[in-house]
Amino acid sequence: HPAPCVAKPNFTVMEETVIDAGHAVRLLAGHPRVDAKRIGVLGHSMGGTFAPRIAEHEPSVARIVILAGAARKIPEMMLAQLDYLSRLDGRVSPEETQQIDEVKAALGRIAEIHAGAPPREREMILGAFAPYWLDYERHDPLAAAKRLGKPIFIAQGEADYQVTAKEDFAAWQKALQGMKGVSFKLYPNANHLFGQVEGKSSPEHYAQRTPVAKELVDDVAAFLLGKPVR
């Protein structure tokens, strides 16, 4: 329900992602066939970024899986993605340059509000009101993960252009390397959806029925069962 949600002036990532996940955990915990002490949360992309926050919000979560979770702030990522996409065909068109400039202006406005500038009445930026962006900016996924003290599995596709191995996966490794119970794995030729691709990853790949890599499925299952990820 994106339209009615973002139409609420005080709508934040907490309402969008965290609270509902907590409800799901508690619903499972009350099921007679579920061991309430062994519930894990798996988050993909933005869900991976906020998986540590979900586990903080719902302390009963036993372990988390972060699939292609961003470690960077969204302004930096959006510009990097636009730059990548605009260069896929070897040239940056005037339309693409205009789009990049518009996003830069919007992200500059988010930075101003984050620094204390008051938002204008009913001002929407990139489809959301100021409280949404302030909440997003305040969340530090690396710090939240370090505070958890719970098993974490961080998986990343090497061919992912949205959340990248060079920037995001490396940041998770740097922040959490050596911590007990934390595992990392990079999947060659896997894109943002963990499907196998050839050549440069592009949005066109998302329209293809590419199965999730079986190796990833097996690794997630092993991790959730408390076995080592190899």
Rounded CA gap, 203 and 205, in Å? 5
pLDDT of residue 73: 86
In this model, does residue 158 exceed pLDDT 80?
Answer: yes
pLDDT tens by residue, 203-213: 888 888 889 99
Per-residue pLDDT, averaged over 35-55, amounts to 97
At position 181, the amino acid (one-letter code) is G
Mean pLDDT computed over every residue of the chain: 93
Percent of the chain whose pLDDT exceeds 70: 100
pLDDT of residue 199: 85
Per-residue pLDDT, averaged over 150-175, amounts to 97
Q: Which residues contact 196 (CB under 8 A, 6 or more apart)?
A: 189, 190, 210, 213
pLDDT band at 141 (very low <50, low <70, confident <90, very high): very high
Could you tell me whether strands 128-129 and 124-125 are parallel, antiparallel, or unpaired per DSSP bridges? antiparallel
pLDDT tens by residue, 76-104: 898 899 889 988 888 888 888 998 899 99
In this model, does residue 171 exceed pLDDT 90?
Answer: yes
